Structures are given as structure tokens and as C-alpha cells.
Structure 1
Amino acid sequence: MKLEAGTKEWARVERKAPFGYFVSIENTDVLLHESDVVEAPEIGDDITVYLYHDHQDRLAATQMEPHVLLGDFGWLEVVDIHPRMGAFLDNGIRKDVLLPADQLPELKSKWPKSGDRVYIQLEHDKQGRLLAVLGREEDFEEIAEPATPDLFNQDISGYVYKIIKIGAFIMTEGQHLAFLHRDETKEELRVGQLLEARVSKVRDDGRLNLSTKPRKEVSYSQDAEMIYAYVKQRGGRMPYTDKTAPDVILDKFGISKAAFKRALGKLMKERRVNQEDGWTYIAPGDTEQ
């Protein structure tokens, strides 16, 4: 039987060496380096080891417990990025596993950063060395749980696993599949990023639509404070009201006419501003002047 990296095997400890132990697996001697020893064995012991290729491409053994075995899927943390090679992932042993550049988006700004997490499967390259392959849509579907209606408008978190032109796909920490449209966020997203968002819709198929925009009541308040600050800055009055043209509102405040009217209505209801003859004024007696 040919020994393969990425597998767990029974090994017999044959002899001690200055730098560790030699163990026998299927009549093949493999080095268990002293830095890979978790519990010192005795000569003749049968132990379980995990096989990998060391930095000199030699098959080596470790007693450390890997997070993911050959052929299995799992979430691994990104520990380093190489601009030409790809992302290096922590698999729980001394040697990190490579997620090749051709598995990542063309734009490097969408590549993961250290500390991000990606869902991968361990495979062999043509030389039999371990590498990571990103999970495909069908792989996520296999582990996904359908979302329930009570998640609507709730805050959730999850990891971005795929980015397309119109948005990003996310696997939530509750194992739900979700989509974030590019119009629902101001962030430039990257693969592996931990994202916090609000559930804007629970779809009939059990998937979620997400948004990172503030809830309407929060948005109204933020817009209202921005407008109020603008009026104060102009000495307590401005030549814009709920009758002002939408393109002027968008140019001056960066929000829609509808949002401007809602925010202005909030300020008038609170008696902080009033309108007269095409102008908006800070209301007399307003304590925030």
C-alpha cells in the first residue's frame, strides 16, 4: 500500500533518533520529528500518526491532531497570504496547507486576510502533496440548514464563501445559506470574511437575504441628525425643504428625496425645525442651538 499525505495511520515505533523517532507503517520507515511528538512513545509502541509532507517534501508523521483529513471538508483559518501562491491555512499541525491562487478571486482585494476562515476540502496535487480546494455551492448545500421565519430582521453573522458581480454568498454561523446584494452594503467584501448583517428576507426555499444597511428607524435618526447639523452650520437656516427637487437633495445630502422628507418630518415632529417660504429654520427655542 502506498502511503499518502493527509491520512491517519497506525505506526509502530521502531527506534529513537537524535531528532525524533522512526516509525514503521506498512514496512515503510517514516520520521516522527521531535517537534511533532505530543506524548513521548516507547520503542515498540503502536501509535496513531497523521502523515504530511515536511518542508523538504519528505513524507513525515506527526502526533498532532489535524482539523481536516484528506478528502474531508472543514473550516480552516487563514494564517498567511502569498501574492503569487495563494493563502496558507492552519490545519492544526506544524505545516500549513496551501489554498492555491487559482482557487481565489482574480482581484486580490477580494482575497482573504489572516484570521479569516474558509470552507475547504483537502486533496492531492499531481505530486501527491496536500492542497486545499474551496467548497462548491453543492458542498454548502449539503451542510446547510433551512432558515425559519423567526430569523426575519434578526442580526446574524457568517463567512463569505463566494463573491460574484452582484453580491456575495454567505454561510451563517447557524448553518444557513444567505446572499448579500451589492446594493445592501457599502463594504468591499472578501472571501473568508466574517460578516455581521441583518436578515432582510427569509425566502421560501429556506435561504436568507441579508443587508448591512441600518434599520429604517436608525437610518431616519442618522439622516435627521445630519440635516440638523447642516442647518446649524449655515447659521440656523437652509434653502431646502420637502419641496426641493430630488436631484438637488441627492447632490447636497447624498440621500434620496424620500429619505430627506422622512428625516425632515422627524425633525419637524420633534419641533426642532420648521419651514417657511421655501426655507428650513431651526425652530425658536430649540435647546440644541
Structure 2
Amino acid sequence: MSIKLGKFNQLEVVKEVDFGMYLDGGEEGEILLPSRYVPEDCKVGDMLNVFLYLDIDERLVATTLTPLVQVGEFACLEVAWVNEYGAFLKWGLMKDLFVPFGEQKMKMQVGNKYIIHAHIDEESYRIVASAKVDRYLSKETPEYQPGDEVDVLIWQKTDLGFKAIIDNKFGGLLYDSEIFQPLHTGMELKAFVKQVREDGKIDLILQKPGFEKVGDFSKDLLQYIKDHEGHIALTDKSPAEDIYAIFGVSKKTFKKAVGDLYKKRVVALEEKGIRLVRP
């Protein structure tokens, strides 16, 4: 059995001591799970799902806490403190996550948050982080199809829009012209693949593309109007932010849905809103 440092492992409890439980770490020997993390009624022979990392004395130790990032993942973390060697990030464990100065794009400041990638340092065998996330994004050709839903982490603002990290693996871009809600670095949300370009770059949008989405929203919009006494104080000239705050869709989708209902002669368009004309 080989254990995975910086990840969760299923390990068997093999010994109970006053200060915790020892787990079977295979070739790494017995690994301590300190008392504070031992589940109630835990006994020898139980299998536990534990996260493995190195304590302040560089000893392999287990915890049942869930860190904010695991090895191989990206996250947005806050700097807890800085010394002459680098910065240390809060990641939900007693020992903070180290970022050497050489792995910082700019000198990290206490209290600020940064997008990082967690990995194992090959020389020291320690879990470390790097703010130079570009080098850790996959160079593989993405196999996404237009319309695929993905998890994204907003990475940084650019002249074109916002860079995002997709499914903890690929880089993507949300264009300013297609963003209809406030975004900021570190935000995690769902998005959809608009296209995968020939060079492998991925364009993203915040809602599922195609008329099917508009058709679905047309039904939701009609029901909303009915639920609000047959009238809403929104028009196709309303700010995109107001539309998104109420319906969670872009102004473009809202306008298409309104047009769909208008063509069906279900609603009337007025200067200060939209009114239901028949049930």
C-alpha cells in the first residue's frame, strides 16, 4: 500500500494510545492521528478517511479536517504570515501552507488572498504552493463540447475579461461582453463551455447556450409574471444587473424570452414594464 501525501487516504486504525490513534501507513509505517481528530467511538480495525500532511517537525501526520486545497488543486487562499523564506497561507490546518518567494508572482502581503496551486516539492517532499499557476494548467487537448457545464475558479482580470481555472485542470476565459454579474478573483461558480478553439483554448459563458435555454426561461418568466399579479416593472431597457438579480440570466436571454412571449401574444410591452394579456 502506498499513501498519498496531501490527499485523503483510507487507512486502518492499528493501535490506540493516550494521545491518539496510529494508522497503517504501509511502507511509511504507522501514522499518528492526534486525539483531537479521532472520531467518537473509533476503535482498532476501523477504516478512516484521513488527510495526510507533514507537521511542524516534518513528520507524517493524519487529520480528519478538510483543508481548503489538496495536492494537485488550485485555490484562493489568504496569507497568514511572512518570513525571510516566503509566505504562509491559511488552508484550514494547524500548519500553514508554504509559498517560497521564488513561487510568488509578486511579493505576497499578509491578509491578501492569492490564487495558488498546491503540489509536492520534489527536493524536500513537502507540500508547498505556487502562485505561478500557468505552469500547472494542463497542456492536454480539452475534450469538452459546447454547452458542457464546468466548475470554474475565477483567476484574474484581463483586458478581455476574466481568466478562469476549469475543473481544477484547464485555463479558460470569460469575455467582458458576455459577463452579466459581478465577478472577482477567487469566486467559484458554474459556467458553460462556449467553444474549444483549435489551439486548445477554452471560451466560457455563464449560462447554457442555445434557444433551449431561452425556451426554458420563457416558461419561468411567464410564471413569474403570473405570480406577481400579471405585471413586472422590468423592460428590455432595464439594467442587466437588475435582470440578473431577479432571474439569474443575462439581459440577452431575458430579451429573447420576452420576445418569445410577445410573439405568442401572451404579454404586452409597456413603457414601465411587462403585463400579462391573457392567462
Please report the TM-score for the alignment, with normalisation by the length of structure 2.
0.50
Secondary structure (helix, strand or coil) at the match of 1:262 reads helix
Is residue 225–residue 275 contact of structure 2 (8 Å, CA) maintained in 1? no
Equivalent AA in structure 2 for residue 137 of structure 1: D
1:200 is aligned to 194
- 1:1-289 superposed matches below 5 A: 38=23, 54=56, 60-64=57-61, 74-75=72-73, 82=80, 87-89=89-91, 95-99=95-99, 111=113, 118-121=116-119, 132-140=129-137, 143-148=138-143, 151-160=145-154, 162-165=155-158, 166-173=161-168, 175-185=169-179, 186-191=181-186, 193-217=187-211, 218-219=213-214, 222=217, 249-251=236-238, 262-273=256-267, 282-283=276-277, 286-287=278-279
Equivalent position amino acid for 2:73 in 1: W
Contact 2:215–2:257 at 8 Å: present in 1 too?
Answer: yes
Give CA deviations for 1:137-168 in whole Å, capped at 9, x if unaligned.
Answer: 1332xx332123x61111122444x3123312
Classify the secondary structure of the residue corresponding to 1:200. strand
Q: Is the 8 A contact 2:165 2:171 kept in 1?
A: yes
Number of aligned pairs?
Answer: 213
- C-alpha change, 1:222 and 1:35, in structure 2 (3 Å) is same
What SS does the aligned partner of 1:169 have? strand
Q: CA deviation at 1:260?
A: 6.8
36 and 104 in structure 1: CA distance in 2 versus 1, 3 angstrom threshold: farther
Letter in 1 for 2:80: H
Distance, in Å, in 2 between the alignment partners of 1:105 and 1:228 is 52
5+ residue gaps in structure 1? 1-5, 7-18, 21-33, 41-45, 55-59, 67-72, 241-247
- Tell me: CA distance 1:39–1:267, structure 2 relative to 1, closer, same or farther (3 Å): closer
1:130 Cα deviation after fit: 7.5
Q: Residues 214-252 of structure 1: CA distance to partner in whole angstroms, max 9, x if unpaired?
A: 5454346647865896799798799x9xxxxxxx84247
Cα deviation code 1:82-139 (max 9, x no counterpart): 3886632368xx6332348966898999836xxxx94234569xxxx98532243133
**SS of residue in 2 equivalent to 1:151:** coil
Classify 1:269/1:108 alpha carbon distance in 2 versus 1 (closer, same or farther; 3 Å). farther
Q: Deviations over 1:17-75 (max 9, x none)?
A: xx99xxxxxxxxxxxxx6696469xxxxx959999672xxxxx2423379xxxxxx732
Q: CA RMSD in A?
A: 5.5
**1:24 match:** none
Offset, 1:269: 3.3
| 8 A Cα contact 2:151 2:167, kept in partner | yes
CA distance in 2, matches of 1:51, 1:264: 55
- 2:136 corresponds to which letter in structure 1? D
Q: Which amino acid aligns with 1:250?
A: K
The answer as to whether partners of 1:78 and 1:87 remain within 8 angstroms in 2 is: no
- Contact 1:121 / 1:135 at 8 angstroms: preserved in 2? no
**Identity %, equivalent residues:** 15
SS for the counterpart of 1:138 is helix
Given that 2:230 and 2:275 are in contact with CA atoms closer than 8 Å, whether structure 1 keeps it comes out as no
Larger Rg: 1
TM-score w.r.t. length of structure 1: 0.49
SS at match of 2:237: helix
